[in-house]
Amino acid sequence: MVQKVAELKGHNAAIYALAIAESPRHIFSASGEGWLVHWDLDAPELGKLIAKVDGNIFSICYLAEQQLMLLGDMHGGVHWVNLNAPDEQRNIAHHKNGTFALVRVGEQVISAGGKGLLTKWSIAQKRPLESLQLSHESLRSIVYSAARNELAIGASDNSIYFLDATNFSVRSSIPAAHDNSVFTVKYHPDGKHLLSGGRDAQLKVWDLETLTCLQAQAAHWYTINAIAFHPKGHLFATASRDKTIKIWDAKSFQLVKVLETIRDDGHINSVNDLLWTTHRELLVSASDDRSLKVWEF
């Protein structure tokens, strides 16, 4: 059984990105009005505006030890926000046409943006170290596997790229992985598979050894924007522009449950991001409808 247990309101524009904060009970959300908001999932009515930047925020990365938050905006900027003094910001115009993804790898952060540029940043120096022109189309998503020391990147040239996380060398790629932009990629907890979702609404399962597609299905009516695994790894969720969230069995890859607008009091616009926390195993969804919804299983 799945039920909505809370709805978090306060943003004045579409919400694009979520991240765990200081504990699994606390989260950050970022949105189109340039707001970074902090929430307590046990007191969902008490959202707190932490920082504001100019432009839509498309991606975020929380650096707990440094008490820094990185924000990627629609213009390609990377904002370094000191959470102890949020007015102290270092804003660097870097990517073109958007900074779509940020991920931490050790003492560095990797950013992906428009025009296919991938960049490695020093956390200590708050500056770019090196860049790779991976594609001539936008890089839409990044996921990091510590076990494989590998980055998987979904691109608008319809491909998925696999890079060595240390030296940025391209290990392999899957050209034409989808019929349109690859909006989300996620390593399976079993270490053997990669899941991808695209603008073609297809959900695909890839064998990481052979890079062959083991399963492909029309999972949604429109773009798949995000994939998130349950903390125990037995389920995963997909979010779509079709306004629904779908829950899947992580072993069989079969559909378990659909969370929709009317029956489940779901979102009324595109669902843009998902975050599955270890706190009460809650799933948080973010939408164009300016709300966050919290689901309990």
Write the pLDDT tens digit of every residue in 43-63: 999 899 999 999 999 999 999
- The answer to whether 290 touches 15, Cβ cutoff 8 Å, is yes
User: Which pLDDT does position 88 carry in this prediction?
Assistant: 85
Q: Mean pLDDT for each consecutive 10-residue tract of the chain (297 residues)? A: 94 98 97 98 94 95 97 97 91 95 98 97 97 97 98 98 96 98 98 97 98 97 98 98 98 97 97 98 98 97
Task: Report residue 115 as tokens.
Answer: 């025009």
Neighbours of 129 (CB within 10 A): 12
Report the distance separating Cα 237 and Cα 229, nearest Å: 6
CA angle 69, 135, 57 (to 5 degrees): 25
Radius of gyration of the chain (CA): 18
User: Which pLDDT does position 86 carry in this prediction?
Assistant: 86
The reported pTM is 0.97
Neighbours of 284 (CB within 10 A): 24
User: Which pLDDT does position 284 carry in this prediction?
Assistant: 98
User: Which pLDDT does position 1 carry in this prediction?
Assistant: 84
User: Which pLDDT does position 143 carry in this prediction?
Assistant: 98
Indicate the SS3 state at residue 263.
helix
User: Which pLDDT does position 87 carry in this prediction?
Assistant: 84
Task: Report residue 258 as tokens.
Answer: 């659909």
Give phi and psi for 19, each to the nearest 5. Answer: -155, 150
Task: Tell me the residue ranges of DSSP E strands in 175-249.
Answer: 182-187, 193-198, 202-207, 213-218, 224-229, 235-240, 245-249
Cβ partners under 8 Å of residue 266, min gap 6: 4, 243, 244, 245, 259, 260, 293
Report the distance separating Cα 112 and Cα 131, nearest Å: 10
What is residue 269's DSSP assignment? S
Task: Report the candidate in 151, 152, 160 with the shortest Cα–Cα distance to residue 178.
Answer: 160
- The answer to whether 79 touches 68, Cβ cutoff 8 Å, is no
User: Which pLDDT does position 106 carry in this prediction?
Assistant: 96
